[in-house]
Amino acid sequence: MVTVKGGKRNGKSKKTQGDLLDFINKPMEEMVDESKTDPGPPSADSLSPIVRTIVKAADKRKAEGIAAIRVSKITAVTGFMIFAIGNSRPQNTAIAAAIKEDMEEEYGEMYQIRGNGVPEGSADSGWIVLDYGDVMVHVMTPKSALFYDLEGQWREKGGEYMDLTEILLPNKMGDTGIPALAEQTDTAMNGIDEEDDPFWS
């Protein structure tokens, strides 16, 4: 079992955003059990229905850059990382609230946010985390997404994108069916400097 500084996957201790960044930046140890059979594509994963519920909830609140990456082959911390970008404090709050509401409606007590049952972080911080254990959701501002590049870090470590073309509206996807995060966030941040960014002023 891999532990994150200050937290364990069993949910008895709470992970913080800083702990997650520390964990990602550590050299990865071999964590893949070669004796296990290939789980197939991420869309066929047993967690894919949960991912679909979360992605649909974020999409209905007009989140951009939505991506779902299966990381279960490279870490025991979680099975999937989901990333969504909102362009205002109210939008990020609404995205997180929609995810929480849809998860409660679909799964009840089966999947609850870890810790005290509320998301970690806030729209004011530029980064909200909803930790469902098997699936971890990051709702970020364009600036936070570019600065931390969590999606890119997990991709480089061997994370596998789940194809979301059948879930998201066509205008949310790149030609490959994988969100072009850098492209979308560059466009979203075009012409905005740090003084004008409502998240950092």
pLDDT at 121: 81
Angle at 90 between CA 24 and CA 190, to 5 degrees: 65
The pTM assigned to this predicted structure is: 0.69
Q: What is the pLDDT of residue 9?
A: 41
| 43-63: pLDDT as tens digits | 999 999 999 999 999 999 999
Q: Give how far Cα 90 sits from Cα of 27, 61, 103, 144, 194, Å.
A: 37, 10, 20, 16, 19
Please tell me the predicted confidence (pLDDT) of residue 115: 73
- Hey, what amino acid is at 30? E
Residues of the chain with pLDDT under 50: 1-13, 29-36, 172-180, 182-189, 191-192, 194-195, 198-201
Buried-exposed string 75-101: b where 16+ CB fall within 10 A, e elsewhere:
bebbbbbbbbbbbebebbbbbbebbbe
| Pair of tokens at residue 154 | 């997990």
Tell me how far apart the alpha carbons of residues 146 and 149 are, in angstroms, rounded to a whole number: 5
Residue in 181, 197, 154 with CA at minimum distance from that of residue 64: 181
Closest CA to 171 of 163, 161, 179: 179
Residue 6 confidence (pLDDT)? 37
160-161: strand order across its sheet: 120-122, 127-131, 135-140, 80-85, 64-70, 160-161
Quote the CA–CA distance of 126 and 147 in Å, as a whole number: 11
> Which regions of 86-187 does DSSP assign to beta strands (E)?
120-122, 127-131, 135-140, 160-161
Q: Could you tell me the domains of the chain?
A: 41-189 (3.30.460.10)
pLDDT digits (tens, 9 = 90+) for 71-104: 999 999 999 999 999 999 899 999 999 999 999 9
Q: Which residues pair with 120 in a beta bridge?
A: 129
